[in-house]
Structure 1
Amino acid sequence: MKIKTLIVDDEPHAIEVIENYATNFQELDIVAKCSNAIDAFKILQQSKVDLIFLDIKMPGLKGTDFIRTLKNPPKIIFTTAYQDYALEGFDLNAVDYLLKPIPFDRFLKAIDKVFATYKIGNQSISIAEKPAEHNSDVFIYLRVERKMVKINVMDIYWIESFKDYIKIVLKDKVLISKQKISLLEKLLPEGKFVRIHRSFIVSMSKVESYHAYFIEMLGKQLPIGRNYKAECYKRLQAL
């Protein structure tokens, strides 16, 4: 299922940020972009739109006033640099309200709210698929080489961060994705992984051995950072 999406903002950079973030989700289909409410209205008359990223403070007509003119508005995520409009935005049943500059993790939370309202078959669209009652598998989707790749987290040995990218190491292959390790950490199932270093997260079940300064996996020695030692040892000794 594709969620037809419109971006409305009078700042080109703001549109670019949202569009770049949206490329991480194959469910989002950007059908149009425009800089004001009048053009947005014309687009709604001509095209099916399920979701609007809508700036509030724009020349001519504010985003909130624009929404009031619509009988059956699409789902709305307001975007603005002004916190004062938050209450007004939620009064209009907005899905979420994002303050600029918009960090990716905050964008992710807003999208997850949108996805929760749509269903494919009998399952909700989600960034992380929750395990069924008798199924321990959990999946995440990451953008790898211009496509979204489904990964069973229990196949992951470790995740390594370098510059603006992460390396996901599986038994028989390595995947590279432009992503922050801190964001991926939030998507992993609780209790199954441990952060051992600012640049490394490891699967608890895949640890082969550990030392005061490193962990061994797949014949590699992964460093244990000074600030992570106490929690790391505590978790490993509980295995």
Structure 2
Amino acid sequence: MSVKCLIVDDEPHAIEVIERYLIDFPEVLIAGTCHNALRAEEIIKSGDIDFAFMDIKMPGLLGTEFIKGLSNPPKVIFTTAFQEYALDGFDLGAVDYLLKPIPYDRFVKAMNRVRGVLGLSSDLPANNEPVPGSPLNREQFLHLRVKRENLKVKTSDILWIESVKDYIKVVLKDRELVSKYKISLVEKLLPTLEFVRIHRSFIVSLRKIESFHPSYVKVMGKELPIGRNYKQDCYKRFLKA
């Protein structure tokens, strides 16, 4: 069984990411891509669209308002860089809500939800496990606003991330970047198989951990504390890494 999907986003790069991820889902046929709600409406009305990836913040009309105005909308996975739109998306019965930049393993979760909603029985990737040649093994990035610049940081270059009040400090081997994000949001944007939350104020790259102790881990010779509520999960992740 195959299903048709539509990708709507005003950023060409965002469409490319979803198209690349969908290579691992042969049952999904991309019926079209477009950059605005007006063109999306034409495609939806002209063909059988089973579900759509819909960016929320687009010029002219929000994706949520567009879906709300359709008499017979397809199933929707909303995508956006703005967490505050999540509630509106779920109020409309969205299958899922993905925060950009979208980690591959989180994308797989959303696709498994689509599989359940549409009754697909084909062998799509499941349980967050990477498939051979999947984007999980390709370079991933974290987009940060630092001062007045938008920086694209390779997740493989990150040693750890530290929460400092309303900001985070992203520590790389040769520099530190400070950006106004909540650590809980950044945690959702990172590849979950590569990073572990060890403390309410620290997220660490599993690859960069040199050693661990009941109360701390060492990264580049620096001791980072393990919070009491994180110990059990940390040990499981350390032993598997």
What is the TM-score with the length of structure 2 in the denominator?
0.54
Counterpart CA distance in 2 for 1:22 and 1:7 is 11
Contact 1:119 1:125 in 2 (8 A): no
What residue in structure 2 maps to residue 237 of structure 1? Answer: none
What residue in structure 1 maps to residue 62 of structure 2? Answer: 62
Counterpart CA distance in 2 for 1:64 and 1:164 is 31
Contact 2:10 2:34 in 1 (8 A): yes
Residue 71 (structure 2) pairs with residue 71 (structure 1): yes
> Using CA pairs below 8 Å that are at least 6 residues apart, which structure has the higher relative contact order?
2
Change (3 A) 1:231 1:55: closer
SS for the counterpart of 2:94 is: coil
Counterpart CA distance in 2 for 1:3 and 1:143 is 23
AA partner of residue 2 (structure 1)? S
AA partner of residue 55 (structure 1)? D
Q: What is the CA distance between 1:27 and its match in structure 2?
A: 1.3
SS for the counterpart of 1:94 is: coil
The percentage of counterpart residues that share the same residue type is: 51
SS for the counterpart of 1:73 is: coil
Residue 125 (structure 2) pairs with residue 127 (structure 1): yes
AA partner of residue 106 (structure 1)? R
Q: What is the CA distance between 1:72 and its match in structure 2?
A: 1.4
What residue in structure 2 maps to residue 211 of structure 1? Answer: none
SS for the counterpart of 1:30 is: strand
Change (3 A) 1:28 1:95: same
Q: What is the CA distance between 1:28 and its match in structure 2?
A: 1.1
Q: What is the CA distance between 1:116 and its match in structure 2?
A: 1.2
What residue in structure 2 maps to residue 5 of structure 1? Answer: 5
Counterpart CA distance in 1 for 2:126 and 2:63 is 32
* Unpaired segments ≥5 residues, structure 1: 130-139, 146-160, 166-179, 184-196, 199-226, 233-239
* Unpaired segments ≥5 residues, structure 2: 140-190, 195-205, 208-234
Change (3 A) 1:3 1:82: same
Alignment of 1:1-239 (within 5 A): 1-119=1-119, 123=121, 126-128=124-126, 142=131, 164=138, 182=193, 231=239
Q: What is the CA distance between 1:45 and its match in structure 2?
A: 1.3
After superposition, the CA RMSD in angstroms is: 3.2
Q: What is the CA distance between 1:3 and its match in structure 2?
A: 1.4
Counterpart CA distance in 1 for 2:130 and 2:87 is 33
Q: Which has the larger radius of gyration?
A: 1
Between Structure 1 and Structure 2, how many residues are aligned?
148
Contact 1:9 1:55 in 2 (8 A): yes
Contact 2:109 2:126 in 1 (8 A): no
